[in-house]
Structure 1
Amino acid sequence: MDVLSHYSSPVIEFPATQPLEKQNALVDNCTGTDPPPPSKDVATATQLKKEMATQTEQLSARTDGSVEYDERALAKWLRQIYPLVERELSQPTPLMDEDQQQLTSQVALQEQLLVQIYQNLPMGCMDNSQGLAIWLCVHTNNAPVLVTTTVAPHDDWCEHVDQQLKLFVPQRVAHGDFVVYKEMKTLPLKSCLRSLSTNSFNKNMFAGATMDGELFVWLYEQSRGASDTNVDIKQLHSVSSTQGAAVALDWVTEQRLLACYPNGTVLQWLVSKQMTLDWEYAATVGGELSTMVSLGLNDFVLGTNDGGVYRCWSTTDRSSGKPLQMLALRRHRFMVSTLLRSEMDGHPIVISCDLSGQAYYHDMRHEDEDTAQLIVQIPLPFKNSIACSRDAKIIYCPSNDGALEYYRVSDGAHAHVKGALRGRGNLIMISDNGCWLITGLYGSEFQIFYIENNLRE
């Protein structure tokens, strides 16, 4: 006889398809001869709707059909619901998460502006150098000519004499709808350049200031013919100044060049058959001048190393001897590293940026007041060099390792283009048509970006 085990097997349950507590009435479906019960058609009958929103109606109704409300219950319900409503209004529930909003804005910005790495330009210089670059006239396929140079690390007095100015010209690629920048000309320099500036009234002309206090004016020339190799850089003028190296250059007209110096001196040169000094202005701004931008004849903006921004102008010709008027604009906390002239919504503005990446938009429509109401804080890491689009609504910044970051001023959306170089870029320059960007210097290379605006009309 087998010994029974005390092991209990698990219970396997098959739940009923119908609830056990529910009783279903069985109906006989057989055919009968009894007459059907009397029925009443209620499809068109109206039903009285009872409002239970506040749960304060009494069960008893008056003879006239109206409902009697309990005032005490209504007051009690209002006291309970009021704090909840007030809390909801003071802290409304967001429509979407902040990270999701930021991601949506970033995707929208990347769809609007397609920024891609176009080409690297090797310079063959020593590492840890800085670079200067400017865009000249458009050559082909909406691509402008490019001039670059390198600046070796040193103080104001320059020991490096083996410096060169290089000309890169875009060349069409056979069987392709794109161009490649090729080095077409190399011009030796006496010393490193401190600043470069393109003549916006004649983009074949540009100027440069050396570390030893000389000013040069060059002319880009292209021979008429089928070949694109007949290009040259011709030196037009060269003058020396006792003020030292000019920290910034800008063109007032086609034949007038402004140069500003750290000691507060601003010189205007008349560039014609000869290069002569037109007038000299000494700005009393306290700190040293770090940058400058011209707004027109006898009208310019200065930036200093202690964060000051000053507008200087005169309503009369400077040859009359009347001094310039000066207006202190909104001040930065750190050195002003960049001044840009642009337009926003059809109004002239000046964008000033300091070493902390804080940018001010100064409205230049009023001469007697500063209307810098728009402030943009570029996220970390700090950017001391910026460029902007033609409508001033997009700010571009060079990042580490050849990367590029750009920001939309209206909503703060930003996007990132990953780079593949080494080093930290100190230069960024955008072309006048807003399609080309150059950044650098990364090791011994510049990097060119191409910008395609998908919303362009």
Structure 2
Amino acid sequence: MDVLSHYSSPVIEFPASQPLEKQNALVDNCTGTDPPPPSADVATETQEKQNAATQTEQFCSSQSAKYDERALAKWLRQICPQVEQELSQPTPLLDEQETSQCALQEQLQVHTYQNLSMASIENSQGLAIWLSVHTNNAPVLVATTVAPHDDWCEHMEQQLKLFVPQRMSHGSFVAYTEAKALPLKSCLRSLCTNEFNKNIFAGATMDGELFVWLYEQARGGIDSSVEIKQLHSVSSTQGAAVALDWVTEQRLLACYANGTVLQWMVTKQMTLDWEYSVPTSVGAELTTMLSLGLDDIVLGTSCGGVYRCWSPGRQPACDRTSKQLQLLPLRKHRFTVSTLLKTEMDGHQIVVSCDLSGQAYYHDMRHEEEDTAQLIVQIPLPFKNAIACSRDANIIYCPSNDGALEYYRVSDGAHAHVKGALRGRGNLICISDNGCWLITGLYGNEFQIFYIENNSSD
């Protein structure tokens, strides 16, 4: 057994946090009424008090704090329904997202159908619209190119081309073939189909002219000819119309960047019906327009504003040409409004607005006093400034680079992609009225046509 040796360890001192000379008065906690000691031990001081309700440090006493109970109650009323909705519909897991994506591709099979070649200058953009159905549920197509320029146009060799679907000898397929080429005085700024008579369409040129055309098909044999007949042509001092839309079969609306909206009566002659100018308080240029009915329009601006304008009642008889409309601002975008679409959701009229960042708002038109755009869709990167949507507004289509197409299902966020084989970035997308055909472009000098096959059980 080892012998234990005597060893003195060094003294380890823990100095006091307070000087030894200072003596604190002792207080009996049971019966004393004296105040606590004036000093506290810093080494043993507890953490600062925190407000558990807002999870922020509370630096002032509860007696001096002031709260705006009305603002707090208003905030709670706004945030509670959203929290409850998110809790009832939690974010799906990764495998659930993949399942929904596969389900979307099975439900909507989008096929790359046909390319259309156009004669164009480098960096040109495209315009295209669908007319009436011709054969095999395929509508007639009108397309043109817009050369790069500013407010004036020196490109005098522009053409408006008519493509007609023709049945192929084998199968139930059709092929779009060029049937007519109409020379134009200058590039078109906008095109619009008359939804009340889809054989009639209108266009606005860069030099301020408005044209109304009629598509005609001669009745006869198998090789019946087609024709584009010019019905009317008028000039405007407002410049190029940035957007056109038909109110009725005989009423055409033209929207101009300077804030002017003109309605034309298209009968045997084309005459000006009324003129409306947005208030100066809007303070931005108009970029797009949509008609909801007689004297009821929606306007989009370059600063992201969306406005609904409608007539409060009968106008004075002495001033019929100058229209007086009420202006209602809807939910505002952060960037320029590039697209306005009219559709229905759950049987209610919906206006979809999209800005340059790819953010889409769904505006419910039943509410006249305030905008209730509760549904907001952020299209994933890269940003898309041109969109189209299905009839029920649940599917959003976007042109992608190199002739590809992306589409999204709003209800569950499912995303699908169709590969392309072209070069360039598309700036146009237009869906046919029956929801079966899509055209995007312009990619170099080509448009891309897609066919949509809906396999849902509805």
Decide which of 303, 306, 309 is 1:306's aligned counterpart: 303
* Residue 329 of structure 1 pairs with residue 330 of structure 2: yes
Contact 1:158/1:211 (8 A) holds in 2 = yes
Please give the secondary structure, in 2, of the residue aligned with 1:101: helix
Query: How far 1:456 sits from its partner (Å)?
Result: 5.2
Contact 1:298/1:318 (8 A) holds in 2 = no
Q: Distance in 2 between the 1:443 and 1:95 partners?
A: 43
* Percent of residue pairs bearing the same amino acid type: 79
Query: How far 1:316 sits from its partner (Å)?
Result: 2.9
1:173 match: 168
Query: How far 1:98 sits from its partner (Å)?
Result: 2.9
Q: Distance in 2 between the 1:255 and 1:273 partners?
A: 10
Q: Distance in 2 between the 1:280 and 1:95 partners?
A: 50
Please give the secondary structure, in 2, of the residue aligned with 1:247: strand
1:140 match: 135
Query: How far 1:377 sits from its partner (Å)?
Result: 0.2
Query: How far 1:270 sits from its partner (Å)?
Result: 0.2
Closer/same/farther in 2, CA of residues 319 and 295 from structure 1, 3 Å limit: farther
Q: TM-score with structure 1 length normalisation?
A: 0.78
* Matched residue count: 365
After superposition, the C-alpha distances for 1:77-122 in whole angstroms (9 at most, x for unaligned) are: xxxxxxxxxxxxxxx9x99983322211110100110001000000
Q: Distance in 1 between the 2:454 and 2:167 partners?
A: 22
Q: Distance in 2 between the 1:455 and 1:226 partners?
A: 38
Closer/same/farther in 2, CA of residues 231 and 328 from structure 1, 3 Å limit: same
Q: Distance in 1 between the 2:249 and 2:429 partners?
A: 24
* Residue 205 of structure 1 pairs with residue 200 of structure 2: yes
After superposition, the C-alpha distances for 1:145-194 in whole angstroms (9 at most, x for unaligned) are: 00000000000100111100000000001132110000000000000000
Please give the secondary structure, in 1, of the residue aligned with 2:104: helix
Q: Distance in 2 between the 1:228 and 1:317 partners?
A: 51
Contact 1:279/1:319 (8 A) holds in 2 = no
Structure 1: state its 5+ residue gaps: 1-91
Please give the secondary structure, in 2, of the residue aligned with 1:108: helix
Decide which of 123, 127, 151 is 1:156's aligned counterpart: 151
Contact 2:299/2:306 (8 A) holds in 1 = yes
| Pairing 1:115-264 to 2, within 5 Å after superposition | 115-264=110-259
Q: Distance in 1 between the 2:361 and 2:341 partners?
A: 10
1:24 match: none
1:436 match: 437
Q: Distance in 1 between the 2:383 and 2:335 partners?
A: 12
Q: Distance in 2 between the 1:235 and 1:244 partners?
A: 21
Query: How far 1:289 sits from its partner (Å)?
Result: 0.1
Q: TM-score with structure 2 length normalisation?
A: 0.78
Contact 2:359/2:377 (8 A) holds in 1 = yes
Query: How far 1:197 sits from its partner (Å)?
Result: 0.2
Closer/same/farther in 2, CA of residues 407 and 215 from structure 1, 3 Å limit: same
1:282 match: 277
Closer/same/farther in 2, CA of residues 328 and 228 from structure 1, 3 Å limit: farther
* Residue 422 of structure 1 pairs with residue 430 of structure 2: no
Q: Distance in 2 between the 1:270 and 1:262 partners?
A: 21
- 2:366 alignment partner AA: R
Contact 2:394/2:409 (8 A) holds in 1 = yes
1:74 match: none
Decide which of 296, 305, 319 is 2:293's aligned counterpart: 296
Q: Distance in 2 between the 1:304 and 1:404 partners?
A: 27
1:107 match: 102
Query: How far 1:142 sits from its partner (Å)?
Result: 0.3
Contact 2:350/2:362 (8 A) holds in 1 = yes
Q: Distance in 1 between the 2:377 and 2:450 partners?
A: 23
1:86 match: none
- 2:351 alignment partner AA: V
Closer/same/farther in 2, CA of residues 456 and 120 from structure 1, 3 Å limit: farther
Contact 1:171/1:228 (8 A) holds in 2 = no
Closer/same/farther in 2, CA of residues 166 and 391 from structure 1, 3 Å limit: same
Larger Rg: 1
Query: How far 1:128 sits from its partner (Å)?
Result: 1.2
2:313 match: 316
Q: Distance in 2 between the 1:228 and 1:297 partners?
A: 41
Contact 2:310/2:327 (8 A) holds in 1 = yes
Query: How far 1:427 sits from its partner (Å)?
Result: 0.0
Contact 1:343/1:349 (8 A) holds in 2 = yes
**Root-mean-square deviation (Å):** 1.6
1:362 match: 363
- 1:336 alignment partner AA: V
- 2:274 alignment partner AA: W
Structure 2: state its 5+ residue gaps: 1-86
Q: Distance in 2 between the 1:247 and 1:301 partners?
A: 14
